[in-house]
Structure 1
Amino acid sequence: MNRTVRGAKVLITGAAGGMGRSYAERAVAEGAAAAILLDRDAGALARTVDELGVISRGRTRLHSYVVDLGELGAIAKTAHRIRRELGDPDVLINNAGIVRGNRYFWHTDNGDDTRPTMYINALAPMYLTREFLPGMIANARPARIVNIASAAGTVGNPRMAVYAASKAALIGWSDSLRLELEQAGHEHVRVTTVTPSYIATGMFAGARGPLLAPVLDPDVVVDRVWRAMLAGTPLVELPASVRLSRALRGLLPTRVFDRVVGDGFGIYRSMERFTGRR
Protein backbone atom coordinates (compact mmCIF):
# COMPACT_ATOMS: atom_id res chain seq x y z
CA MET A 1 0.00 0.00 0.00
CA ASN A 2 1.21 3.54 -0.66
CA ARG A 3 2.17 6.00 2.04
CA THR A 4 -1.46 7.07 2.45
CA VAL A 5 -4.93 5.62 2.01
CA ARG A 6 -5.72 8.07 -0.78
CA GLY A 7 -8.31 6.53 -3.07
CA ALA A 8 -9.01 3.59 -0.75
CA LYS A 9 -12.20 2.54 1.00
CA VAL A 10 -11.62 2.45 4.75
CA LEU A 11 -14.04 0.73 7.16
CA ILE A 12 -13.77 1.48 10.88
CA THR A 13 -15.79 -0.01 13.73
CA GLY A 14 -16.52 1.96 16.88
CA ALA A 15 -16.11 5.07 14.73
CA ALA A 16 -18.41 7.50 16.54
CA GLY A 17 -15.84 8.53 19.13
CA GLY A 18 -12.51 7.89 20.77
CA MET A 19 -9.86 6.10 18.76
CA GLY A 20 -12.34 5.09 16.05
CA ARG A 21 -13.14 8.68 15.28
CA SER A 22 -9.42 9.49 15.20
CA TYR A 23 -8.83 6.78 12.61
CA ALA A 24 -11.72 8.19 10.58
CA GLU A 25 -10.21 11.68 10.75
CA ARG A 26 -6.91 10.27 9.51
CA ALA A 27 -8.63 8.55 6.60
CA VAL A 28 -10.40 11.77 5.62
CA ALA A 29 -7.21 13.83 5.98
CA GLU A 30 -5.37 11.49 3.61
CA GLY A 31 -8.09 11.59 0.97
CA ALA A 32 -9.63 8.17 1.27
CA ALA A 33 -12.23 7.54 -1.42
CA ALA A 34 -14.71 6.45 1.23
CA ALA A 35 -14.82 6.28 5.01
CA ILE A 36 -17.27 3.60 6.13
CA LEU A 37 -18.14 4.19 9.77
CA LEU A 38 -19.85 1.64 12.02
CA ASP A 39 -21.12 2.26 15.54
CA ARG A 40 -24.09 1.39 17.72
CA ASP A 41 -24.60 4.98 18.94
CA ALA A 42 -26.74 6.53 16.20
CA GLY A 43 -26.61 10.07 17.56
CA ALA A 44 -22.86 10.18 18.08
CA LEU A 45 -22.31 8.57 14.70
CA ALA A 46 -24.45 11.19 12.95
CA ARG A 47 -22.54 14.00 14.65
CA THR A 48 -19.22 12.45 13.66
CA VAL A 49 -20.30 12.20 10.03
CA ASP A 50 -21.46 15.83 10.03
CA GLU A 51 -18.20 17.07 11.52
CA LEU A 52 -16.04 14.93 9.25
CA GLY A 53 -18.04 16.21 6.30
CA VAL A 54 -16.89 19.74 7.10
CA ILE A 55 -13.28 18.56 7.15
CA SER A 56 -13.63 16.46 4.01
CA ARG A 57 -15.42 19.05 1.87
CA GLY A 58 -16.63 16.26 -0.38
CA ARG A 59 -13.23 14.72 -1.06
CA THR A 60 -14.10 11.60 0.94
CA ARG A 61 -17.50 9.96 0.73
CA LEU A 62 -18.81 9.33 4.23
CA HIS A 63 -21.06 6.37 4.89
CA SER A 64 -22.42 5.45 8.31
CA TYR A 65 -24.11 2.27 9.49
CA VAL A 66 -25.70 1.86 12.89
CA VAL A 67 -25.01 -1.67 14.11
CA ASP A 68 -24.57 -3.37 17.46
CA LEU A 69 -21.58 -5.67 16.98
CA GLY A 70 -22.78 -7.69 19.94
CA GLU A 71 -25.59 -8.92 17.68
CA LEU A 72 -23.69 -11.27 15.41
CA GLY A 73 -26.58 -11.65 12.99
CA ALA A 74 -26.61 -7.91 12.43
CA ILE A 75 -23.00 -8.04 11.24
CA ALA A 76 -23.89 -10.19 8.23
CA LYS A 77 -26.82 -7.95 7.33
CA THR A 78 -24.72 -4.81 7.56
CA ALA A 79 -21.85 -6.34 5.61
CA HIS A 80 -24.23 -7.43 2.85
CA ARG A 81 -25.58 -3.90 2.62
CA ILE A 82 -22.07 -2.41 2.49
CA ARG A 83 -21.00 -4.78 -0.28
CA ARG A 84 -24.14 -3.98 -2.26
CA GLU A 85 -23.77 -0.23 -1.88
CA LEU A 86 -20.00 0.25 -1.85
CA GLY A 87 -18.18 -3.01 -2.52
CA ASP A 88 -15.54 -4.50 -0.25
CA PRO A 89 -13.27 -2.19 1.77
CA ASP A 90 -9.54 -1.93 1.12
CA VAL A 91 -8.81 -1.27 4.79
CA LEU A 92 -10.70 -2.80 7.72
CA ILE A 93 -9.96 -1.47 11.20
CA ASN A 94 -11.55 -3.63 13.89
CA ASN A 95 -11.45 -0.99 16.60
CA ALA A 96 -14.70 -1.39 18.55
CA GLY A 97 -14.39 -2.83 22.03
CA ILE A 98 -15.88 -2.79 25.51
CA VAL A 99 -14.51 -3.44 28.98
CA ARG A 100 -16.19 -4.54 32.18
CA GLY A 101 -13.85 -3.96 35.08
CA ASN A 102 -13.18 -3.50 38.79
CA ARG A 103 -14.91 -6.73 39.78
CA TYR A 104 -13.65 -10.25 40.30
CA PHE A 105 -14.93 -12.79 37.79
CA TRP A 106 -17.35 -14.48 40.19
CA HIS A 107 -19.04 -11.13 40.79
CA THR A 108 -19.77 -10.62 37.09
CA ASP A 109 -22.83 -11.64 35.10
CA ASN A 110 -22.71 -13.97 32.13
CA GLY A 111 -25.39 -12.07 30.22
CA ASP A 112 -24.32 -8.52 30.97
CA ASP A 113 -20.56 -9.03 31.13
CA THR A 114 -19.14 -12.25 29.68
CA ARG A 115 -21.32 -12.60 26.60
CA PRO A 116 -21.12 -9.01 25.26
CA THR A 117 -17.40 -8.73 26.01
CA MET A 118 -16.57 -11.90 24.11
CA TYR A 119 -18.98 -11.09 21.28
CA ILE A 120 -17.81 -7.51 20.67
CA ASN A 121 -14.10 -7.87 21.42
CA ALA A 122 -13.39 -11.30 19.95
CA LEU A 123 -16.17 -12.67 17.76
CA ALA A 124 -17.27 -9.47 16.00
CA PRO A 125 -13.84 -8.85 14.38
CA MET A 126 -13.80 -12.46 13.18
CA TYR A 127 -17.33 -12.28 11.78
CA LEU A 128 -16.83 -8.93 10.10
CA THR A 129 -13.48 -9.88 8.60
CA ARG A 130 -14.89 -13.15 7.30
CA GLU A 131 -17.58 -11.18 5.49
CA PHE A 132 -15.13 -8.99 3.58
CA LEU A 133 -11.94 -11.05 3.34
CA PRO A 134 -12.88 -13.12 0.25
CA GLY A 135 -13.49 -9.90 -1.67
CA MET A 136 -10.28 -8.34 -0.40
CA ILE A 137 -8.38 -11.39 -1.60
CA ALA A 138 -10.13 -11.50 -4.98
CA ASN A 139 -9.61 -7.77 -5.66
CA ALA A 140 -5.84 -8.35 -5.80
CA ARG A 141 -5.27 -4.76 -4.61
CA PRO A 142 -3.16 -3.97 -1.55
CA ALA A 143 -5.45 -4.39 1.45
CA ARG A 144 -5.08 -4.09 5.19
CA ILE A 145 -6.77 -5.53 8.28
CA VAL A 146 -6.02 -3.93 11.65
CA ASN A 147 -7.14 -5.67 14.83
CA ILE A 148 -7.02 -3.54 17.98
CA ALA A 149 -6.29 -5.99 20.78
CA SER A 150 -4.66 -5.13 24.11
CA ALA A 151 -1.65 -5.82 26.28
CA ALA A 152 -4.22 -7.43 28.57
CA GLY A 153 -4.39 -10.27 26.07
CA THR A 154 -0.72 -11.10 26.70
CA VAL A 155 -0.79 -11.35 30.50
CA GLY A 156 -3.49 -12.12 33.01
CA ASN A 157 -4.85 -9.23 35.07
CA PRO A 158 -7.19 -9.30 38.08
CA ARG A 159 -10.56 -7.55 37.73
CA MET A 160 -10.62 -7.87 33.94
CA ALA A 161 -10.58 -11.64 33.41
CA VAL A 162 -13.10 -11.76 30.56
CA TYR A 163 -11.62 -8.71 28.85
CA ALA A 164 -8.18 -10.32 28.98
CA ALA A 165 -9.66 -13.54 27.59
CA SER A 166 -11.38 -11.70 24.74
CA LYS A 167 -8.19 -9.91 23.74
CA ALA A 168 -6.10 -13.08 24.01
CA ALA A 169 -8.55 -14.72 21.61
CA LEU A 170 -8.30 -11.75 19.26
CA ILE A 171 -4.50 -11.87 19.29
CA GLY A 172 -4.37 -15.59 18.56
CA TRP A 173 -6.85 -15.33 15.71
CA SER A 174 -5.30 -12.18 14.24
CA ASP A 175 -1.78 -13.54 14.04
CA SER A 176 -2.99 -16.90 12.75
CA LEU A 177 -4.93 -15.11 10.02
CA ARG A 178 -1.78 -13.20 9.05
CA LEU A 179 0.13 -16.47 8.69
CA GLU A 180 -2.68 -18.11 6.73
CA LEU A 181 -2.75 -15.29 4.21
CA GLU A 182 1.01 -15.51 3.76
CA GLN A 183 0.93 -19.30 3.46
CA ALA A 184 -1.86 -19.16 0.87
CA GLY A 185 0.04 -16.61 -1.22
CA HIS A 186 -2.34 -13.69 -0.55
CA GLU A 187 0.34 -11.34 0.67
CA HIS A 188 -1.39 -8.28 -0.76
CA VAL A 189 -3.71 -8.57 2.25
CA ARG A 190 -1.73 -7.85 5.39
CA VAL A 191 -2.80 -8.08 9.01
CA THR A 192 -1.60 -5.84 11.83
CA THR A 193 -2.26 -6.82 15.44
CA VAL A 194 -2.11 -4.00 18.01
CA THR A 195 -1.52 -4.64 21.73
CA PRO A 196 -1.48 -1.31 23.59
CA SER A 197 -1.50 -0.72 27.31
CA TYR A 198 -4.04 1.71 28.76
CA ILE A 199 -4.96 4.65 26.49
CA ALA A 200 -6.33 7.97 27.74
CA THR A 201 -9.64 7.85 25.87
CA GLY A 202 -11.97 7.57 28.88
CA MET A 203 -12.56 3.87 28.32
CA PHE A 204 -10.07 3.07 31.07
CA ALA A 205 -10.60 6.09 33.29
CA GLY A 206 -9.32 5.41 36.78
CA ALA A 207 -6.96 2.63 35.71
CA ARG A 208 -3.36 3.19 36.72
CA GLY A 209 -0.55 2.68 34.26
CA PRO A 210 1.92 0.05 35.55
CA LEU A 211 5.60 0.80 36.03
CA LEU A 212 7.25 1.49 32.64
CA ALA A 213 3.81 1.62 31.00
CA PRO A 214 2.31 5.09 31.43
CA VAL A 215 -1.20 5.75 30.13
CA LEU A 216 -0.81 6.38 26.41
CA ASP A 217 -1.66 9.51 24.45
CA PRO A 218 -4.39 8.57 21.90
CA ASP A 219 -2.84 10.69 19.14
CA VAL A 220 0.49 8.91 19.53
CA VAL A 221 -1.20 5.52 19.33
CA VAL A 222 -3.24 6.46 16.26
CA ASP A 223 -0.13 7.66 14.46
CA ARG A 224 1.88 4.54 15.30
CA VAL A 225 -0.95 2.20 14.33
CA TRP A 226 -1.66 4.07 11.10
CA ARG A 227 1.96 3.98 9.95
CA ALA A 228 2.23 0.30 10.86
CA MET A 229 -0.98 -0.45 8.95
CA LEU A 230 0.31 1.21 5.79
CA ALA A 231 3.60 -0.67 6.05
CA GLY A 232 1.87 -3.98 6.76
CA THR A 233 3.74 -4.38 10.06
CA PRO A 234 2.56 -7.59 11.77
CA LEU A 235 2.60 -6.44 15.40
CA VAL A 236 2.45 -3.11 17.24
CA GLU A 237 3.23 -3.24 20.98
CA LEU A 238 2.79 0.01 22.92
CA PRO A 239 4.71 1.02 24.95
CA ALA A 240 7.93 -0.99 24.56
CA SER A 241 7.46 -2.43 28.05
CA VAL A 242 4.60 -4.56 26.68
CA ARG A 243 7.18 -6.49 24.69
CA LEU A 244 9.40 -6.75 27.76
CA SER A 245 6.54 -8.06 29.87
CA ARG A 246 5.65 -10.63 27.23
CA ALA A 247 9.28 -11.79 27.06
CA LEU A 248 9.55 -12.08 30.83
CA ARG A 249 6.28 -14.01 30.96
CA GLY A 250 7.87 -16.64 28.75
CA LEU A 251 11.19 -16.75 30.61
CA LEU A 252 10.28 -16.58 34.28
CA PRO A 253 8.51 -19.22 36.36
CA THR A 254 4.90 -18.21 36.92
CA ARG A 255 5.22 -17.38 40.61
CA VAL A 256 8.38 -15.37 40.01
CA PHE A 257 6.67 -13.42 37.24
CA ASP A 258 3.70 -12.77 39.53
CA ARG A 259 5.89 -11.31 42.25
CA VAL A 260 8.49 -9.46 40.20
CA VAL A 261 6.43 -8.21 37.24
CA GLY A 262 2.74 -8.60 38.01
CA ASP A 263 2.89 -7.22 41.55
CA GLY A 264 6.25 -5.45 41.37
CA PHE A 265 5.37 -3.44 38.25
CA GLY A 266 1.82 -2.80 39.49
CA ILE A 267 0.08 -4.65 36.67
CA TYR A 268 -2.07 -6.73 39.00
CA ARG A 269 -3.33 -3.63 40.87
CA SER A 270 -3.88 -1.41 37.85
CA MET A 271 -7.67 -1.89 37.63
CA GLU A 272 -8.57 -1.40 41.29
CA ARG A 273 -9.76 2.19 40.76
CA PHE A 274 -11.23 1.71 37.31
CA THR A 275 -14.26 3.90 36.63
CA GLY A 276 -14.21 4.04 32.81
CA ARG A 277 -17.16 3.82 30.50
CA ARG A 278 -18.40 0.54 29.10
Structure 2
Amino acid sequence: MTKDPITDALVLITGAARGMGELYARRAVAGGARAVALWDIDEDAATALAADLSRSGVDVRAYKVDVSRQEEIAAGVERVRSDLGTPDVVINNAGIVRGAPFWEHDPARDIEATMRINALAAMWLTREVLPEMIADTSRPKRILNIASAAGTLANPNMSVYAASKWAMIGWSESLRLELSSYGHRHIAVTTFCPSYVSTGMFEGARGPLMTPIMTPRQATAAAWNGMLNGTPMVLRPWSVKLAMAFRGILPTKWWDVVANRVFKVYSSMDEFTGRG
Protein backbone atom coordinates (compact mmCIF):
# COMPACT_ATOMS: atom_id res chain seq x y z
CA MET A 1 0.00 0.00 0.00
CA THR A 2 1.35 3.41 -0.95
CA LYS A 3 2.16 5.67 1.99
CA ASP A 4 1.33 8.87 0.11
CA PRO A 5 -2.34 9.79 0.64
CA ILE A 6 -2.45 12.29 -2.25
CA THR A 7 -0.62 10.71 -5.19
CA ASP A 8 -3.22 9.21 -7.57
CA ALA A 9 -6.00 10.00 -5.08
CA LEU A 10 -9.44 11.46 -5.68
CA VAL A 11 -9.76 14.53 -3.45
CA LEU A 12 -13.14 16.08 -2.64
CA ILE A 13 -13.19 19.60 -1.16
CA THR A 14 -16.20 21.55 0.06
CA GLY A 15 -16.23 25.33 -0.05
CA ALA A 16 -13.62 24.92 -2.76
CA ALA A 17 -14.15 27.91 -5.04
CA ARG A 18 -12.05 30.46 -3.18
CA GLY A 19 -10.06 31.21 -0.05
CA MET A 20 -8.64 28.24 1.82
CA GLY A 21 -10.69 25.82 -0.27
CA GLU A 22 -8.97 27.00 -3.44
CA LEU A 23 -5.57 26.61 -1.78
CA TYR A 24 -6.35 23.03 -0.75
CA ALA A 25 -7.33 22.32 -4.36
CA ARG A 26 -4.07 23.74 -5.64
CA ARG A 27 -2.11 21.66 -3.16
CA ALA A 28 -3.97 18.53 -4.25
CA VAL A 29 -3.10 19.16 -7.88
CA ALA A 30 0.53 19.92 -7.04
CA GLY A 31 0.69 16.79 -4.89
CA GLY A 32 -0.17 14.50 -7.78
CA ALA A 33 -3.85 13.81 -7.19
CA ARG A 34 -5.59 11.77 -9.88
CA ALA A 35 -8.68 13.95 -9.75
CA VAL A 36 -10.17 16.75 -7.64
CA ALA A 37 -13.86 17.42 -7.06
CA LEU A 38 -14.62 21.04 -6.21
CA TRP A 39 -17.88 21.55 -4.31
CA ASP A 40 -19.25 25.04 -3.85
CA ILE A 41 -22.56 26.86 -3.96
CA ASP A 42 -20.91 29.41 -6.29
CA GLU A 43 -20.94 27.39 -9.50
CA ASP A 44 -19.31 30.05 -11.65
CA ALA A 45 -16.32 30.50 -9.36
CA ALA A 46 -15.87 26.74 -8.94
CA THR A 47 -16.07 26.19 -12.70
CA ALA A 48 -13.48 28.89 -13.38
CA LEU A 49 -11.11 27.36 -10.82
CA ALA A 50 -11.63 23.88 -12.26
CA ALA A 51 -10.78 25.13 -15.75
CA ASP A 52 -7.62 26.79 -14.44
CA LEU A 53 -6.43 23.74 -12.48
CA SER A 54 -7.28 21.32 -15.30
CA ARG A 55 -4.52 22.87 -17.39
CA SER A 56 -2.12 20.87 -15.23
CA GLY A 57 -3.48 17.64 -16.68
CA VAL A 58 -5.31 16.63 -13.50
CA ASP A 59 -9.03 15.91 -13.90
CA VAL A 60 -10.59 18.74 -11.88
CA ARG A 61 -14.36 19.09 -11.91
CA ALA A 62 -16.73 21.61 -10.35
CA TYR A 63 -20.04 20.70 -8.74
CA LYS A 64 -22.69 23.09 -7.48
CA VAL A 65 -23.70 21.70 -4.09
CA ASP A 66 -25.50 23.44 -1.24
CA VAL A 67 -23.99 21.55 1.69
CA SER A 68 -26.66 22.86 4.05
CA ARG A 69 -29.03 20.36 2.43
CA GLN A 70 -28.51 16.65 3.06
CA GLU A 71 -30.24 15.65 -0.16
CA GLU A 72 -27.87 17.80 -2.22
CA ILE A 73 -24.88 16.21 -0.52
CA ALA A 74 -26.20 12.72 -1.30
CA ALA A 75 -26.86 13.68 -4.93
CA GLY A 76 -23.46 15.34 -5.19
CA VAL A 77 -21.68 12.21 -3.96
CA GLU A 78 -23.54 10.15 -6.56
CA ARG A 79 -22.41 12.52 -9.32
CA VAL A 80 -18.81 12.33 -8.15
CA ARG A 81 -18.97 8.53 -7.95
CA SER A 82 -20.32 8.38 -11.50
CA ASP A 83 -17.76 10.82 -12.89
CA LEU A 84 -14.62 10.08 -10.91
CA GLY A 85 -15.13 7.29 -8.40
CA THR A 86 -15.11 7.23 -4.61
CA PRO A 87 -13.10 9.94 -2.80
CA ASP A 88 -9.88 8.92 -1.08
CA VAL A 89 -9.49 12.28 0.65
CA VAL A 90 -12.33 14.45 1.97
CA ILE A 91 -11.72 18.03 3.10
CA ASN A 92 -14.70 19.42 4.99
CA ASN A 93 -13.84 23.08 4.50
CA ALA A 94 -17.18 24.84 3.85
CA GLY A 95 -18.22 27.23 6.59
CA ILE A 96 -19.99 30.46 7.45
CA VAL A 97 -19.76 32.82 10.41
CA ARG A 98 -22.38 34.97 12.08
CA GLY A 99 -21.05 37.38 14.71
CA ALA A 100 -23.62 38.97 17.02
CA PRO A 101 -25.20 38.55 20.46
CA PHE A 102 -27.19 35.33 20.50
CA TRP A 103 -30.54 37.09 20.87
CA GLU A 104 -29.97 38.95 17.60
CA HIS A 105 -29.51 35.76 15.56
CA ASP A 106 -32.30 34.85 13.18
CA PRO A 107 -33.35 31.24 13.97
CA ALA A 108 -33.25 30.07 10.34
CA ARG A 109 -30.79 32.36 8.55
CA ASP A 110 -28.20 32.40 11.34
CA ILE A 111 -28.68 29.55 13.83
CA GLU A 112 -29.91 26.72 11.64
CA ALA A 113 -27.78 27.67 8.62
CA THR A 114 -24.61 27.85 10.71
CA MET A 115 -25.19 24.47 12.32
CA ARG A 116 -26.07 22.84 9.00
CA ILE A 117 -23.07 24.18 7.06
CA ASN A 118 -20.42 24.14 9.78
CA ALA A 119 -21.26 20.86 11.53
CA LEU A 120 -23.98 18.73 9.94
CA ALA A 121 -22.64 19.02 6.39
CA ALA A 122 -19.33 17.40 7.35
CA MET A 123 -21.17 14.58 9.10
CA TRP A 124 -23.56 14.02 6.19
CA LEU A 125 -20.80 14.00 3.57
CA THR A 126 -18.49 11.76 5.57
CA ARG A 127 -21.32 9.32 6.28
CA GLU A 128 -22.00 9.07 2.54
CA VAL A 129 -18.44 8.11 1.58
CA LEU A 130 -17.06 6.44 4.71
CA PRO A 131 -18.29 2.85 4.11
CA GLU A 132 -16.41 2.74 0.79
CA MET A 133 -13.34 4.35 2.35
CA ILE A 134 -13.40 1.67 5.05
CA ALA A 135 -13.76 -1.14 2.51
CA ASP A 136 -10.86 0.02 0.31
CA THR A 137 -7.66 -0.77 2.21
CA SER A 138 -5.43 -0.50 -0.87
CA ARG A 139 -4.25 2.99 0.01
CA PRO A 140 -4.27 5.46 2.94
CA LYS A 141 -7.39 7.60 3.25
CA ARG A 142 -7.72 11.01 4.84
CA ILE A 143 -10.51 13.15 6.32
CA LEU A 144 -9.60 16.74 7.12
CA ASN A 145 -12.19 18.65 9.15
CA ILE A 146 -11.78 22.42 9.37
CA ALA A 147 -12.92 23.46 12.83
CA SER A 148 -11.76 26.56 14.72
CA ALA A 149 -10.13 27.77 17.90
CA ALA A 150 -13.63 29.08 18.63
CA GLY A 151 -14.55 25.44 19.22
CA THR A 152 -12.07 25.23 22.09
CA LEU A 153 -12.89 28.44 23.98
CA ALA A 154 -16.10 30.38 24.46
CA ASN A 155 -16.16 33.92 23.13
CA PRO A 156 -18.78 36.69 23.19
CA ASN A 157 -20.57 37.38 19.89
CA MET A 158 -19.65 33.93 18.58
CA SER A 159 -22.17 31.72 20.38
CA VAL A 160 -23.65 29.92 17.38
CA TYR A 161 -20.40 29.78 15.43
CA ALA A 162 -18.60 28.41 18.50
CA ALA A 163 -21.36 25.86 19.02
CA SER A 164 -20.98 24.61 15.46
CA LYS A 165 -17.23 24.25 15.82
CA TRP A 166 -17.47 22.56 19.23
CA ALA A 167 -19.78 20.07 17.53
CA MET A 168 -17.29 19.61 14.68
CA ILE A 169 -14.42 18.93 17.09
CA GLY A 170 -16.39 16.49 19.24
CA TRP A 171 -17.65 14.54 16.24
CA SER A 172 -14.29 14.56 14.44
CA GLU A 173 -12.33 13.32 17.45
CA SER A 174 -14.93 10.64 18.20
CA LEU A 175 -14.84 9.46 14.59
CA ARG A 176 -11.04 9.23 14.74
CA LEU A 177 -11.22 7.07 17.86
CA GLU A 178 -13.94 4.84 16.41
CA LEU A 179 -11.99 4.17 13.23
CA SER A 180 -8.91 3.28 15.24
CA SER A 181 -10.71 1.06 17.74
CA TYR A 182 -12.45 -0.88 14.96
CA GLY A 183 -9.17 -1.45 13.15
CA HIS A 184 -9.68 0.90 10.19
CA ARG A 185 -6.26 2.44 10.62
CA HIS A 186 -5.77 3.21 6.93
CA ILE A 187 -8.12 6.17 7.49
CA ALA A 188 -6.73 9.12 9.43
CA VAL A 189 -8.92 11.96 10.68
CA THR A 190 -7.37 15.38 11.28
CA THR A 191 -9.15 18.28 12.99
CA PHE A 192 -7.76 21.73 12.22
CA CYS A 193 -8.40 24.46 14.80
CA PRO A 194 -7.03 27.82 13.63
CA SER A 195 -7.55 31.19 15.21
CA TYR A 196 -8.57 34.05 12.91
CA VAL A 197 -7.57 33.68 9.24
CA SER A 198 -7.60 36.64 6.85
CA THR A 199 -10.02 35.18 4.31
CA GLY A 200 -12.55 38.00 4.75
CA MET A 201 -14.95 35.85 6.78
CA PHE A 202 -13.68 37.49 9.97
CA GLU A 203 -13.23 40.99 8.63
CA GLY A 204 -12.92 43.43 11.55
CA ALA A 205 -11.98 40.79 14.13
CA ARG A 206 -8.79 41.39 16.11
CA GLY A 207 -6.34 38.68 17.10
CA PRO A 208 -6.00 38.16 20.87
CA LEU A 209 -2.67 38.71 22.65
CA MET A 210 0.18 36.75 20.99
CA THR A 211 -2.29 35.50 18.37
CA PRO A 212 -1.57 37.08 14.99
CA ILE A 213 -4.20 36.76 12.29
CA MET A 214 -2.91 34.08 9.93
CA THR A 215 -2.85 34.30 6.17
CA PRO A 216 -4.79 31.64 4.24
CA ARG A 217 -1.50 30.20 2.99
CA GLN A 218 -0.16 29.80 6.52
CA ALA A 219 -3.35 28.16 7.69
CA THR A 220 -3.73 25.76 4.77
CA ALA A 221 -0.07 24.74 4.96
CA ALA A 222 -0.48 23.76 8.63
CA ALA A 223 -3.73 21.88 7.99
CA TRP A 224 -2.41 20.15 4.87
CA ASN A 225 0.79 18.93 6.52
CA GLY A 226 -1.18 17.69 9.52
CA MET A 227 -3.54 15.83 7.21
CA LEU A 228 -0.69 14.21 5.27
CA ASN A 229 0.90 13.02 8.51
CA GLY A 230 -2.38 11.87 10.01
CA THR A 231 -2.01 14.26 12.96
CA PRO A 232 -5.17 14.04 15.09
CA MET A 233 -5.42 17.75 15.94
CA VAL A 234 -3.63 20.78 14.52
CA LEU A 235 -3.95 24.02 16.49
CA ARG A 236 -2.51 27.28 15.15
CA PRO A 237 -0.98 29.54 16.20
CA TRP A 238 0.76 28.18 19.30
CA SER A 239 -1.17 30.56 21.57
CA VAL A 240 -4.35 28.53 20.97
CA LYS A 241 -2.83 25.67 22.98
CA LEU A 242 -1.69 28.11 25.65
CA ALA A 243 -5.18 29.55 26.04
CA MET A 244 -6.66 26.04 26.24
CA ALA A 245 -4.18 25.16 28.99
CA PHE A 246 -5.02 28.26 31.02
CA ARG A 247 -8.75 27.62 30.59
CA GLY A 248 -8.31 24.07 31.82
CA ILE A 249 -6.31 25.03 34.89
CA LEU A 250 -7.88 28.27 36.10
CA PRO A 251 -11.25 28.57 37.85
CA THR A 252 -13.84 30.05 35.52
CA LYS A 253 -13.95 33.45 37.24
CA TRP A 254 -10.16 33.76 37.04
CA TRP A 255 -10.10 32.65 33.43
CA ASP A 256 -12.74 35.23 32.54
CA VAL A 257 -10.49 37.95 33.93
CA VAL A 258 -7.39 36.64 32.14
CA ALA A 259 -9.25 36.10 28.84
CA ASN A 260 -10.85 39.54 29.00
CA ARG A 261 -8.10 41.76 30.40
CA VAL A 262 -4.86 39.98 29.48
CA PHE A 263 -5.43 37.93 26.33
CA LYS A 264 -8.21 40.21 25.02
CA VAL A 265 -10.09 37.15 23.74
CA TYR A 266 -13.47 38.42 24.85
CA SER A 267 -13.15 41.67 22.89
CA SER A 268 -11.71 40.16 19.71
CA MET A 269 -15.11 40.26 17.92
CA ASP A 270 -16.13 43.75 19.06
CA GLU A 271 -15.44 45.30 15.64
CA PHE A 272 -16.39 42.28 13.52
CA THR A 273 -18.09 43.10 10.22
CA GLY A 274 -17.57 39.93 8.15
CA ARG A 275 -17.79 39.85 4.38
CA GLY A 276 -20.90 42.01 4.34
Whole-angstrom distance in 1 between the partners of 2:43 and 2:80:
17
2:237 maps to what in 1? 239
Structure 1 residue 166 displacement after superposition: 0.1
Q: 1:1-278 to 2 correspondence within 5 Å?
A: 2-3=3-4, 5-54=6-55, 56=56, 58=57, 60-101=58-99, 103-140=100-137, 141-277=139-275
Structure 1 Cα separation of the partners of residues 33 and 130 of structure 2: 19
Q: Determine what percentage of the aligned residue pairs are the same residue.
A: 54
Q: The residue matched to 2:36 in structure 1 has which SS?
A: strand
**1:28 is aligned with what amino acid?**
V
Code of the aligned partner of 2:172: S
Alpha-carbon shift at residue 4 of structure 1 (Å) = 6.3
Give the Cα separation in 2 of the matches to 1:264 and 1:63: 47
Larger mean CA deviation between 60-69 and 189-198 belongs to: 60-69
- Normalised by the size of structure 2, how large is the TM-score? 0.96
Shift of 1:85: 2.5
For 1:96 and 1:267, locate their aligned partners in 2 and report how far apart those are by CA, in whole Å: 24
Q: Whole-Å Cα distance in 1 between the matches of residues 275 and 132 of structure 2? A: 35
> 2:4·2:140 contact (CA, 8 Å) conserved in 1?
no
Cα distance between partner residues in 1 of 2:71 and 2:196: 31
Query: What is the Cα-based RMSD across aligned positions, in Å?
Result: 1.2
Unpaired runs of at least 5, structure 2: none
Structure 1: any 5+ residue segments left out of the alignment?
none
- Contact 2:5–2:142 under 8 Å retained in 1: no
Give the drift of 1:3.
Answer: 4.8
> Which runs of at least 4 in structure 1 moved beyond 3 Å after TM superposition?
1-4
Secondary structure in structure 2 of the residue aligned to 1:269: coil
1:4 touches 1:30 (CA, 8 Å); kept in 2?
Answer: no
| Contact 1:2 1:230 survives alignment (8 Å) | no
Contact 1:263 1:269 in 2 (8 A): no
Q: How many residues in Structure 1 have an aligned counterpart in Structure 2? A: 274
Contact 2:67-2:121 at 8 Å conserved across structures = yes
Q: Quick one: distance in 1 between partners of 2:261 and 2:150?
A: 15
1:268 alignment partner, SS class? coil
Distance in 1 separating the partners of 2:92 and 2:231: 16
SS of residue paired to 1:62: strand
